[in-house]
Structure 1
Amino acid sequence: MQFVELAATSAAVAATSARRGKIDLLAAALRGLAPEEIEAGAAYLAGELRQRQIGVGWAAVRDAPPPSEQATLTVAQVDAALAEIGEQSGAGSQARRRSLLGALFGAATADEQRLLVGLLSGEVRQGAQAGLLADAIARAAGVAVAEVRRALLLSGDLKTVARAALTGGSAALGEFTLQVGRPLAPMLAQAAASVDAALEATGFPAAVDDKLDGVRIQVHRSGDDVAVYSRSLADITSRMPDVVAAVRALPARQIVLDGEAVALDPTGRPRPFQETSARAARRAGQVAGAGKAKRTGDVSEPTGADGADRAAEAASPDVLTPYFFDLLHLDGADLLDETGQRRWSVLAKALPSGLLVGRRMVSTVEEAAAAFDAALTSGHEGVVVKAAGAAYDVGRRGAAWVKVKPRHTLDLVVLAAEWGHGRRRGWLSNLHLGARDPAGGGFVMLGKTFKGLTDELLRWQTERLLALATERGDWVVTVRPELVVEIAFDGVQTSPRYPGGVALRFARVLRYREDKPAGEADTIDDVRRFHMVASDRT
């Protein structure tokens, strides 16, 4: 298939609002792929690379050569070129990568270049999410959607499932089973503004789990081999020796667990996510070159210390402590289709209490509200309310799990905005946010966000910000600091990237405050107070 055909499909999907129309377009493109192109083509239609990462970002494509007038690239050729770019390493690799990238872009038409930029920057915004692709794969292959979703549930890899469905049909999809050692796409939680709203979705009885602000982990053990996977299914075993040791010490011979790894202080309270992430990074550096050795016996077993000794050990500079909230497999028995209550019961018997996430079974709103308050008091970022009768719905964000976190808001000032990509092309999208500096005057940048913006708001803010522009670049438009925007965020973290030393976590736009002058925006001192409160709590 010509790559330009995929680019045209991507643009058409972005311009189509109807779900059925999107599925028809995607299915037609999938049917046109050669067998050897299916995995790459399915990935591109999902807005990502088959290789996930190849060491190239936006900065590398800013100076792309002029587009080709004629479309010559095939999907297979693009995939091969991207794979070669990702394989470059060692001395001179950056220059080689730049040269290969330039050759690829030079052979691409304008439409193809737009899709390549979106794929490399992660900004393909065409509305083709995994659920939509699953429906399109089913239609293209002539199989039941349930068969495709089940295969996705067990493999966690849309590309592999697409190839199986399109080349082998139902028989090939039926070969996907839970295999210890092969990660599954984790079950996800949707969000609710309150515990009451969460319970409306889950019903009773329900579990209220502490929401740990850590690294999501899925741990597979078969005999003495232990592997740890991230939320994105990356193998992070080498970064998690403490997790490996804890799971290897369990009496089970085969087990698949879902949980979080967190950094703790000497009292056993969770540290901010930044510290958890930093500890994982330091671990990766310490074991660089060890490869898979950490999975086969060179991690010391736990000493069995508990109480103060265990807390002191967990609080050492690089330790990450695992807590598990679900069990997917135990000694030959799959538990995916069991109810939550059944899985949690087996989990509680298979693991010591010190490895279990805090959980309270509730039957009233009042009990759930008390559990939410207790979680916040203990230093957690909120709770996840879970339907006791629900199966483990791998890879889906349904109503069976609902997360609730306290929402904070600040009124900040827009300092600049970046031009968007994909379906946001032509609109100012990514906002540079600043807090007022009462001491020195001016504004202090806290970070950026493009989240929470509807098409209507994008159009409005583009027109408004261009009217305030003081400098128009190809990438960034700087504006007079006059427009106030109300921003919701989950927390404040230390950040050396910004002059104020802090940044917002998960910032998203709620609304513009044209009724409020910039001189009444929240100050950097207000932001730092949020940070101090979070630090005290954790």
Structure 2
Amino acid sequence: MQLSEVVEVSREVGATRSRKAKIAALAAVLARAEVDLLPVVVSFLSGEPRQDRLELGPAAVFGAEAPPAATPSLTVAEVDDALQQIADTPAGTGSRTARIRLLTEVLERATADEQDWLRRLVVRDLRQGALAGVLTAAIAQAAAVPEAAVRRAAMLSGDLRVTAAAAMTGGEAALTAFRLEVGCALEPMLASTATSVTEALTETTAAADGHGGVVVEAKLDGARVQVHRDGDRVLIFTRNLNEVAHRMPEVVDAALGLPVSSVVLDGEALALDDEGRPRRFQDTMARIGRERVPAGGSPEEVPLSVRFFDCLHLDGEDVLDRPLRERLDALARAVPAPLRVEALTTDDPADAEAFLQRTLAAGHEGVMVKALDAPYEAGRRGASWRKVKPVHTLDLVVLAAEWGSGRRRRWLSNLHLGARAEPGDPVDVEGPDGGFTMLGKTFKGLTDATLTWQTAALLEREVRREQHVVHVRPELVVEIALDGFVRSTRYAGGIALRFARVRGYREDKGTAQADTLATARAIFSGQRPPGA
């Protein structure tokens, strides 16, 4: 298969908003692909190389100069081989130069369109709209099999590439042969977002055709874990399917203490204080990030706890295809109440809202609303699970911006954001309305239209440049949604934005009306709850 075919379908998919058109275009190219190339083609259409790490950053990739070829000649196999050579380049002196040389060699054989596509593939910035859900439907169409069968096989295999090959070569029979294997990680089921518990109850009930009821669960601010136990063997997988049992001896001990012989559980690992309240997310992740933690821990360690909310397998029997109510029964048989996430079965919005407020008061981040009749749909962000997660919002001042990379390289993208400083606060930037303290950066939530306007507006306010950073007069106020703050030694205020995204510019506000560092610190300390 020629690379130009994949590049063209990527262009088509990226140029249309029609899901039906995306699926048709992807299915057509999948049907033409050689069977042995299907894993590569699926990877490329997913927007990333088959290789996990290429050790080439945007500066190296976009700085590699190569005159484009006049006509297309590269094949998908040749590109994959070249990327594998890059991935296989041994680390050490001269390795970066060797990788750039290999990349340049393949770029020299590519047309201008192929070069642009390849560069964005390598840095994983294709943004072509071929998300897993669309690709799943395209595989089903190309193989003429039910989409549900593809989705289930992908869930159990954990690899859409393997699933595609099975579908195209063995049809539905090959897909139904996939089984849950204790010790083999599954893609986690995901939740859609709702703005309120009333909305979540309404939409979840509608997704279940009004039958079966719902359960409201506390949404914990920890690390998603999938725990597999087979006898005395325990494996723990993160949301990204990395195995981390060696980092979580407390979770291993909890799993070994269950009255079961084999089990697969879905849950959250988090650090709790002496009163049972969650520690900062940063504390949990710092602890989990340690490469090895001794069994039994040590006095200076932050202890981890685990809370489970779903059961996918119990003592030799798969239950993931069963309704949630049956999975919760299995969970109750396998896991004692102190290790289960707190939950309330109700369809009353007032009861659900009261449960949300109690959960927030306990220090957690929100609730999940789930249809009791829904199966476990791994890897899907379906309508049967809804998350209600009140967020903080702040009006902050733009202090600088960085030129983007990849598709955003012509725009000022990554915003440097500051809060208004008051007497006694550290000041990073002076302005006509006083000083401002930097709290962090974000490039999320920006549409192409906003990026275009933002770039022009910031360049009009430019005061100096520092490499790829454009410093500006602090005159623009932007509304930011964020999950909270983490401790930081990088910024003078001692805290940094966590999961910040742009909601929109506040042209109605001057910088004197921006939020203060004191307000940001109140969010960090928990004195200001979400929505306050």
Establish whether TM, by shorter chain, passes 0.5: yes
Partner of residue 378, structure 1: 362
1:13 aligns with 2:13: yes
Deviates more, 1:352-361 or 1:127-136: 352-361
C-alpha separation in 1, matches of 2:178 and 2:216: 32
Instruction: Flag the 1:536–1:115 CA change in 2: closer, same or farther, 3 A.
Output: same
Partner of residue 520, structure 1: 513
Partner of residue 279, structure 1: 287
Partner of residue 304, structure 2: 320
Letter of the 2:476 partner, please give it: L
Deviates more, 1:36-45 or 1:120-129: 120-129
Deviation at 1:478, TM superposition (A): 4.0
Deviation at 1:477, TM superposition (A): 4.3
Instruction: Flag the 1:520–1:461 CA change in 2: closer, same or farther, 3 A.
Output: same
For 2:310, what is the secondary structure of its paired residue? Answer: strand
Q: Per-residue CA shift, 1:368-409, capped at 9, x if unaligned?
A: 112111111211111112222222121111221111122211
Partner of residue 209, structure 2: none
Deviation at 1:76, TM superposition (A): 2.1
C-alpha contact 2:251 2:306 (8 A) present in aligned 1? yes
Instruction: Flag the 1:535–1:510 CA change in 2: closer, same or farther, 3 A.
Output: closer
For 1:279, what is the secondary structure of its paired residue? Answer: helix
Instruction: Flag the 1:474–1:77 CA change in 2: closer, same or farther, 3 A.
Output: farther
Instruction: Choose from 135, 138, 142 the match for 1:136.
Output: 138
C-alpha contact 1:280 1:318 (8 A) present in aligned 2? no
Instruction: Choose from 318, 325, 334 the match for 2:318.
Output: 334
| TM value normalised by structure 2 | 0.88
C-alpha separation in 2, matches of 1:20 and 1:469: 44
Instruction: Flag the 1:238–1:535 CA change in 2: closer, same or farther, 3 A.
Output: farther
Instruction: Flag the 1:446–1:62 CA change in 2: closer, same or farther, 3 A.
Output: farther
Partner of residue 41, structure 2: 41
Kindly report which structure 2 residues correspond to 1:103-502, keeping only aligned pairs within 5 A, or say none.
Answer: 103-203=105-205, 205-282=213-290, 284-286=291-293, 317-420=301-404, 424=408, 426-439=410-423, 440=427, 441=430, 442-470=435-463, 476-502=469-495
C-alpha separation in 1, matches of 2:4 and 2:247: 40
Instruction: Flag the 1:468–1:493 CA change in 2: closer, same or farther, 3 A.
Output: same
**Structure 2, unaligned runs of 5 or more:** 206-211
C-alpha separation in 1, matches of 2:278 and 2:514: 32
Instruction: Flag the 1:494–1:397 CA change in 2: closer, same or farther, 3 A.
Output: same
For 2:181, what is the secondary structure of its paired residue? Answer: coil
C-alpha separation in 2, matches of 1:108 and 1:330: 52
Instruction: Flag the 1:104–1:274 CA change in 2: closer, same or farther, 3 A.
Output: farther
Instruction: Flag the 1:245–1:56 CA change in 2: closer, same or farther, 3 A.
Output: farther
Letter of the 2:445 partner, please give it: G
Deviation at 1:285, TM superposition (A): 4.3
For 2:220, what is the secondary structure of its paired residue? Answer: coil
C-alpha separation in 1, matches of 2:180 and 2:73: 41
Partner of residue 523, structure 2: 530
Deviation at 1:430, TM superposition (A): 3.3
Q: Could you say what the CA RMSD is over the residues aligned between the two structures, in angstroms? A: 2.8
| TM value normalised by structure 1 | 0.87
Deviation at 1:259, TM superposition (A): 0.5
C-alpha separation in 2, matches of 1:478 and 1:275: 33
Instruction: Flag the 1:524–1:53 CA change in 2: closer, same or farther, 3 A.
Output: farther
C-alpha contact 1:485 1:512 (8 A) present in aligned 2? yes
C-alpha separation in 1, matches of 2:465 and 2:439: 21
Deviation at 1:277, TM superposition (A): 0.9
User: How many pairs are equivalent?
Assistant: 513
Deviation at 1:411, TM superposition (A): 0.8
For 1:148, what is the secondary structure of its paired residue? Answer: helix
User: Sequence identity, in percent?
Assistant: 50
C-alpha separation in 2, matches of 1:63 and 1:425: 12
C-alpha separation in 1, matches of 2:142 and 2:407: 25
Instruction: Flag the 1:250–1:398 CA change in 2: closer, same or farther, 3 A.
Output: same
Letter of the 2:512 partner, please give it: G
For 1:243, what is the secondary structure of its paired residue? Answer: helix
Deviation at 1:103, TM superposition (A): 4.2
C-alpha separation in 2, matches of 1:421 and 1:10: 19
C-alpha separation in 2, matches of 1:382 and 1:241: 27
C-alpha separation in 2, matches of 1:143 and 1:420: 41
Partner of residue 306, structure 1: none
C-alpha contact 1:206 1:386 (8 A) present in aligned 2? yes
C-alpha separation in 2, matches of 1:361 and 1:253: 29
C-alpha contact 2:27 2:141 (8 A) present in aligned 1? yes
C-alpha contact 1:125 1:422 (8 A) present in aligned 2? no
Deviates more, 1:62-71 or 1:238-247: 62-71
Partner of residue 510, structure 1: 503
Letter of the 1:523 partner, please give it: T
